[in-house]
A and B are shown apart, each in its own frame.
Chain A
Amino acid sequence: MGNIMLEVNGLTTKYVTRFKENVYAVSDVSFTLEEGRSVGIAGESGCGKSTLALSLMGYYFAPLHYIKGDIIIDGKNISGMKPDDVRKNVLGTEIAYIPQAAMNALNPTRKVIKFIEDVIRAHDPKATKKDIFDLARQRFEVLNLPVETLYKYSVELSGGMKQRTVIAVSTILSPKVLIADEPSSALDVTSQKMVIKMIRDLMDLGLIKSMIFITHELPLLYNVTDDIMVMYAAQLVESGTADQMIFDPLHPYSKGLMGSILVPEDGTRDVKLVAIPGTPPNLKKPPEGCRFAERCVYATPKCKVSGVAYHDFDNNRKCRCHMSENELREAYANEQ
């Protein structure tokens, strides 16, 4: 058990639309992340996983608004901080964020080393050029990136190379938490594997202390993170280790999600794909009871009326369901 790097308690945030409607995109999210571990967040598009990533940074600007909850990074609560303080004291050193199209964030008129200079100077204005270069070279060597890249412009790099460079630049200050939001989904599979390998190297070398990886691709998540959390309609519905979640999901929604995995491996052709009927609820007016009740085959009248807490199951798992672990297993067994 390592130190707790990130602790999130009851985080709730909302979007305010142009018509002044509230969309509760993250609702009562709690989890902890230990040093040296990585967690993946899976869910359908629109379930709030990207918003959760933005909310975790503590960097709120319209139309995203903070409502309540704590974000504690290595003992420091950042949830009430002003955006300016967050930018100066949290981003880069405590948290680094890599969005999907990060590779397009490089200004094409500047060399890569300039971005590294910017990042370091923002936190240590006195750093000399030599220090910066030494640090950058060392980091690039460790990550198996060619050192020449430092003196190249972003247009001279390929997509995968650009994405790896961006990740190297944004983690140069060795942040405690790396939040990667679909960092490889715009890339071809070969580049994707290289990007993932580099992120894993960063973790293994201890250059980043922990990681949150967001994607809708479950096979990818299985290959990247130690743990997986499943998000549905702005809430976490289940979490566990990657193996538990992929091969033994308990929550009916996770079960459905895992049943939709397609991989080019022997035996997967004979498995019947199962679809979950219906559509997710409208987050402007989330339902009173369990948010999945409308689409759940095992739902009882109770599910539609009363909500359920995100509670512990055996083997360090958590689940948001009225049924107990045994009841769920029984229901699945009867199904077959």
Chain B
Amino acid sequence: MKNHIRQVLRSGKFMTGFIIIMLILLLVAVYPLLNPGNPLEMIGYNSFVKPGVYFSLYDSLDMESRHVYRFRLEGADELRIYNKFGTEDRIAVKEWLVRYGEREGVPGLTEEEIDVDDRYQLLDLWWEHYDPTLRLGMTIAASRVYQRLDARVAGIFNLEDYNVYTIWNEELEEYEVHQTTVVNDDYVNVNDIANRIWLPLGTENFGRDVMKQLVHAIRTSLMIGLVAGTIATAIGLLLGLVAGYVGGIVDDIIMFFTNLFTVIPGIVLLILISYSIGQEQRGAMTVAVVIGLTSWIWTARSVRSQVMSLRSRDHVNLSKLSGHSMPRIVVRDILPYVASYVVMAFVLQVSSGILAEAGLSMLGLGPKTTDVPTLGLMMNWAMRYTAHLMGAWWAYYPVVGVIALISFSLNLMNTGLDQVFNPQLREG
């Protein structure tokens, strides 16, 4: 036994899976401490805010409480052009220029000769040719669009900007409106800004922090997996032991039910049970129990077949001849031999429990949505609120990744254990 444990710890596959699971557990344990709060709290007014650090615009302009630093940075203009002169603006500039070139017969202003990606060429041409008074056969509304575009382009290089903010005047007991000038070269230290928020994975459609939700979802899903795995393994082990050891009519009855369950696809059963429970009654644990109750079949079958071959082993016969009772023989002489298999089956059951929950929740049959987030629920929300169409990859890729990572590492652990306990599978 000791030797086996040493081999398990030496198995690269098992240890890789184990370390990944431990890191995930560490994240689940530590993140809520650093970042407390309800994961289902809607913090944002917008849906699908992209990942990043956000800070209060108001606080960053508050001249009283901040220090303004001036830097003369090389390339600052370039970055500005790069960031502010967006694709849509550039396409609009090009459209106008092409239209103008056709109309006025200016050479060099054709579709092929203007490169939308060359920002400097576009800006030069724009400043050279743009005239707000030209209609070029467009409606007034359309030419207004170009006037606004011109203002925006000019704004990129505007050296002076105005900033309005208010300060509470205690004497007058009212807000005073102040105006200040912010120059291109003004900088503030991010740490001086009062309100900041870091959203490592942005927010989802309800404006809830995806990262916080994900960490809580991992915890709930692991719990569901553990509970489902424990129930399934316990039922499977018990039925397998009884059917395999007792044999005869008991075996026939148990195998009749096991075979019955085998031919009904598990997912169909799961859907029917979940549906009949109803949305409001379905807590995370209810779902876990339902999953556990429908996935013991394969454990029962394989434990049974192993017990049947163990039953005819001579050490069991000798134990009988020594006058030991049946429960003692089962516990002392049979169970230790199937224990390694049961541990492996348990690991796989946990993994499949997590996947089953994700599948059910995707179909809208998971735990109720107001309680706790689960990995499946997060997928369901992302799907239902079309995160994929909005380009909000952060709302579903991390979830998919975590599900894959968890089942990958659990399967890796299983394979590692398998190689230790089944010498035929050992490499080299």
Chain A directly contacts chain B within the complex, with at least one CB pair under 8 Å = yes
Binding site for B on A (CB under 8 A): 16, 18, 62-63
The digit string for B286-313, where 1 denotes a CB below 8 A from any CB of A, is 0000000000000000000000000000
Residues of A within 8 Å of B426, CB to CB, are: 18
B428 sits at the interface (CB 8 A): yes
Closest B residue to A16 by beta carbon equals: B428
The interface residues of chain A lying within 8 Å CB-to-CB of B428 are 16, 18, 62-63
User: Which residue, A16, A18, A62, A63, has most C-beta atoms of chain B within 10 A?
Assistant: A18
Cα separation A16 to B426 with both chains bound (whole Å) = 13
Instruction: Give chain B interface residues in 388-428, CB to chain A under 8 Å.
Output: 426, 428
Q: Give 1 or 0 for each of B98-115: 1 = CB within 8 Å of chain A CB.
A: 000000000000000000
Instruction: Give the Cβ gap from A306 to chain B, nearest Cβ, in Å.
Output: 36
Least CB distance from A83 to B in Å reads 16
In the complex, what distance in Å separates the CA atom of A18 from the CA atom of B428? 7
Q: Main secondary structure on chain B at its contact with chain A? A: loop
Q: Which residues of B contact A18 (CB under 8 A)?
A: 426, 428
5 pairs, CB–CB < 8 Å, chain A vs chain B: A16-B428, A18-B426, A18-B428, A62-B428, A63-B428
Rounded to whole angstroms, the CA-CA distance of A210 and B322 in the bound complex is 54
Chain B 79-129 interface residues, beta-carbon cutoff 8 Å to A = none
Alpha-carbon distance between A16 and B239 when the two chains are bound, in angstroms? 42
Closest chain A residue, CB of each to CB of B419: A18
When chains A and B are docked, how far (Å) is the Cα of A62 from the Cα of B426?
12
Residues 180-236 (chain B) with a chain A CB within 8 angstroms: none
Query: Which residues of chain B have a CB within 8 Å of any CB of chain A?
Result: 426, 428
CB distance from A94 to the nearest CB of B (A): 29
A17, closest chain B residue (CB): B428
* Residues on the B chain within 8 Å of A62, using CB: 428
CA distance A62 to B428 in the complex (A): 6
- Please provide the 5 A-B residue pairs with the shortest distance between their CB atoms, ordered closest to farther: A62-B428, A18-B426, A63-B428, A18-B428, A16-B428
User: How many Å from the CB of A151 to the closest CB on chain B?
Assistant: 35
How far, in angstroms, from A63 to B426 measured CA to CA in the complex? 11
Which chain B residue shows the least CB distance to A20?
B428
CB distance from A101 to the nearest CB of B (A): 16
B423 nearest in chain A by CB position: A18
A63 contacts across to B, CB distance below 8 A? 428
Name the distance in Å between B421's Cβ and chain A's nearest Cβ.
14
When chains A and B are docked, how far (Å) is the Cα of A63 from the Cα of B428? Answer: 6
Docked pose: A18 CA to B10 CA in angstroms:
12
Closest-by-CB residue of B relative to A18 is B426
- Bound-state CA distance A62–B427 (Å) is 10
**Residues of B contacting A16 in the complex (Cβ-Cβ under 8 angstroms):** 428
**Smallest CB separation, A63 vs chain B (Å):** 6
Complex Cα spacing A16 to B428, Å: 9
**B427 to chain A: closest residue by CB:** A18
Query: Could you tell me the distance in whole angstroms from the C-beta of B374 to the nearest C-beta in chain A?
Result: 41
Closest beta carbon of chain B to A20's beta carbon, Å:
9
With CB as the reference atom, state the residue of chain A lying closest to B10: A19
- B7's nearest neighbour on chain A, judged by CB, is A18
Q: Report the separation of the CA atoms of residues A173 and B428 in the bound assembly, to the nearest whole angstrom.
A: 33
A8, B428: Cα distance in complex, Å: 28
Task: Give the Cβ gap from B14 to chain A, nearest Cβ, in Å.
Answer: 15
CA distance A18 to B426 in the complex (A): 8
Q: What is the minimal beta-carbon distance from B371 to any residue of chain A, in angstroms?
A: 49
Interchain CA distance A305-B426 in the complex, whole Å: 38
Docked pose: A256 CA to B428 CA in angstroms: 37
Query: What is the distance, in angstroms, from B13's C-beta to the closest C-beta of chain A?
Result: 14
Q: What residue of chain B has the Cβ atom nearest to residue A63's Cβ?
A: B428
* B398 nearest CB across to chain A (Å): 39
How distant is B200 from chain A, measured CB to nearest CB, in Å? 43
Q: How far is the CA of A193 from the CA of B426 in the complex (A)?
A: 38
User: How near does chain A come to B138, taking the closest CB pair, in angstroms?
Assistant: 78
Closest Cβ of chain B: how far from A163's Cβ, in Å? 25
Smallest CB–CB gap between A320 and chain B, Å? 33
A18 to B427, CA, bound (A): 8
